A and B are shown apart, each in its own frame.
Chain A
Amino acid sequence: MTGSWKDNHALFLIVIGALAWLAPGGGHFALQEKKRGIIIFVLIALTFAVGLYVGSIGVVNPVSAKPWYVAQVMNSPAVFLLGSYMTAAHQRAEARNDLSLAYPVYGRAGEVGQIYTSIAGLLNLLCIVNAIYMAHIQVVGEEESPK
């Protein structure tokens, strides 16, 4: 019985973590922490969008800016799609010898865009960990509360 409880508990935490990664604030929303979820979603999505607007979609660059890309992927798995599109754009640009096809990013705008999108990802990582912790506390609280 203890084993199956642990399995379910682990599965619950994994589902909450996955929801939190799928959409920022999704984990908190699933835990009935709606205000928290909305604040997290709006701010992280806005920060990521501002980063993309300032630096262009070229700031998501899995080819030559891998460390930044790792942080950006923490925003949502949807960043993988953008990353694969950018990889294809880089390959097209190399094949045709035309760098403009690869959405080049440079200067202060590139820095600001990269910092905004990556910080948004790292903040979402914090929120994923927090959602998993809150889920754990909820389950433990339910287990220990008198019936």
Chain B
Amino acid sequence: MTAATAGMILGSFTTPMRIGTSPASMLWLLPLVAVIAVVYKATKVHKIRLKPFAKESAVLFGSIIVFIGVAALILYGLTWFVTGQLPALLDSSAF
């Protein structure tokens, strides 16, 4: 590896990437959840054997994603109610 290549690689750590605020940017969640699931399971299982370890990590990964999805749906519903429905209800109220 030349000094120029090494410099280029190190230099790429000094400027942030361009990531938009589109819904697709939420996909950055997936690798992080995978790391959390695998590292957590690595500290929990008695003995590390490939198949059971991969299965347990996958189950934890799925559980976290499902839980985040449910939390997101509840928060979305709450926001929809507070910003969309509640003002209309208050306007038509007798008070």
Write the residues of chain A forming the contact surface with B, with a CB cutoff of 8 angstroms: 35-36, 39-40, 43-44, 46-47, 50, 52-58, 103, 105-110, 112-113, 115-116, 119-120, 123, 126-127, 130
Q: Is the CB of A130 within 8 A of B43?
A: yes
B12 partner residues in chain A, CB cutoff 8 A: 53
Number of interface residues of B (CB under 8 A): 22
Contacts A35-B48, A43-B38, A50-B31 hold; do A127 and B16 have CB atoms under 8 A apart? no
Q: Which of B18-26, B58-66, B68-76, B85-93 makes up part of the contact surface?
A: B18-26
A1 to B20 alpha-carbon distance, docked (Å): 64
Q: Is the CB of B14 within 8 A of A39?
A: no
A50 to B17 alpha-carbon distance, docked (Å): 11
Q: Is the CB of A119 within 8 A of B36?
A: yes
- 8 Å CB contact of A109 from B18, B36, B42, B48: B18
A54 partner residues in chain B, CB cutoff 8 A: 16-17, 19, 28
A52 partner residues in chain B, CB cutoff 8 A: 13
Contacts A107-B19, A112-B28, A119-B32 hold; do A127 and B14 have CB atoms under 8 A apart? no
Q: Is the CB of B36 within 8 A of A123?
A: yes
B35 partner residues in chain A, CB cutoff 8 A: 43-44, 46-47, 119-120, 123
- 8 Å CB contact of B17 from A36, A43, A109, A120: A109
B36 partner residues in chain A, CB cutoff 8 A: 119, 123
B16 partner residues in chain A, CB cutoff 8 A: 54-56, 58, 105-107, 109-110, 113
Q: Which of B25, B28, B48 has the most CB of A within 10 A?
A: B28
A55 partner residues in chain B, CB cutoff 8 A: 16-17
Q: Is the CB of A57 within 8 A of B43?
A: no
A44 partner residues in chain B, CB cutoff 8 A: 35, 39
- 8 Å CB contact of B42 from A36, A46, A107: A36
A120 to B34 alpha-carbon distance, docked (Å): 12
Contacts A53-B13, A113-B16 hold; do A126 and B21 have CB atoms under 8 A apart? no
A108 to B25 alpha-carbon distance, docked (Å): 8
A17 CB, nearest partner CB in chain B, Å = 14
Q: List 8 additional contacts besides A43-B39, A53-B12, A119-B35; criterion CB under 8 Å.
A: A43-B38, A44-B35, A53-B13, A56-B16, A110-B16, A112-B19, A116-B32, A123-B35
